[in-house]
Amino acid sequence: MAINLDLFSSNNYQQTIRRYCNQLGWTISDINDRRTIIKFSMDSGTTQTAFIIRYDTTLEFSYPSGLKFDTQEDVPGWLSTLMLCENATYKVGFWCIENIDNRQVLSMMHNAEISLIDVNYFQKVVMQTVTKCDQLEQNVSKALRGY
């Protein structure tokens, strides 16, 4: 069943996100009428940051990883291939390269039609994607340490 689009209208966006986060026990770091930032303390000891951005009929969930490169050419080809192969196995989320502060950042992202989002879908998307981002960072960290 489709959710009422008004739940995420510019007038109701903050109220809906706050209600969902309260139900889930999550603390919002920052919010305005179009964007939300939520920080998660992960079991790995790191903090992952979720950015949720409202567009006309879509919410974009974005999780920048700690993997940053100066240019697109600096992104290792093997890493791009690995992320594309990973994308093929996911039902929720995908890897992409975002330009953030003039750096190329490997990010986990998910775009969802607002009409499909209820608190359960919201929780599933956020938790699955933030976990994938943390797992990638932990795996890269282990590889760099020689484990």
- Which pLDDT tens digit goes with each residue over 6-43? 677 667 899 999 999 999 999 999 999 999 999 999 99
The pTM of the full predicted model, rounded to 2 decimals, is: 0.88
* Of 143, 131, 144, 142, residue with least CA distance to 65: 131
- Out of 3.30.10.20, 3.30.1460.10, 3.30.420.40, 3.40.50.2300, the CATH code matching 5-145 is 3.30.1460.10
Please give the single-letter amino acid code of residue 40: F
Average pLDDT over residues 44-56: 93
Domain boundaries, the chain: 5-145
Q: How far is CA 138 from the centre of its chain?
A: 16
Query: Three-state DSSP class for 93?
Result: coil
Question: For all residues of the chain together, what is the average pLDDT?
Answer: 90
